[in-house]
Amino acid sequence: MANLYVMARVTAQPDKATPVLKLLTELAKESENESGCLYYKILPATDQSNIFTTLELWESAEAEQQHWNTDHLKNILSQLAPLLAEEARIEKYTEL
């Protein structure tokens, strides 16, 4: 199975960047403890303080799919939703 790379662009409401970053940091920490997660990084935009990208590497698409069923992800997503300016944009890639 090929590794799966996932990038999610998260745009916080302008005055909600700090709580969004806190939640994303918690999500990264919890996700890195999951079986199949090789890494989960938070990348703040250099030119806009309310935009973040998560960069995730999963052992497989199946491992990433199991991630969506975890309680910690569901809990954090419910807390993030009212803080975001728009829905997160998620892109998935595999290696050649």
How high is the pLDDT of residue 63?
96
Mean pLDDT computed over every residue of the chain:
96
**Whole-angstrom distance, CA of residue 58 vs CA of residue 78:** 23
Q: For residue 21, what is the domain's CATH number?
A: 3.30.70.100
Please name the helix (run of DSSP H) or strand (run of DSSP E) that holds residue 63, with its range, or none: helix 61-67
Answer yes or no: pTM beyond 0.75: yes
**Strand, helix or coil for residue 53:** strand
> Residue 74 sits in which domain range?
4-94
Chain segment 3-35, per-residue pLDDT in tens: 999 999 999 999 999 999 999 999 999 999 999
Q: How many domains does the chain have?
A: 1
**Whole-angstrom distance, CA of residue 28 vs CA of residue 39:** 8
How confident is residue 71, by pLDDT bands cut at 50, 70 and 90?
Answer: very high
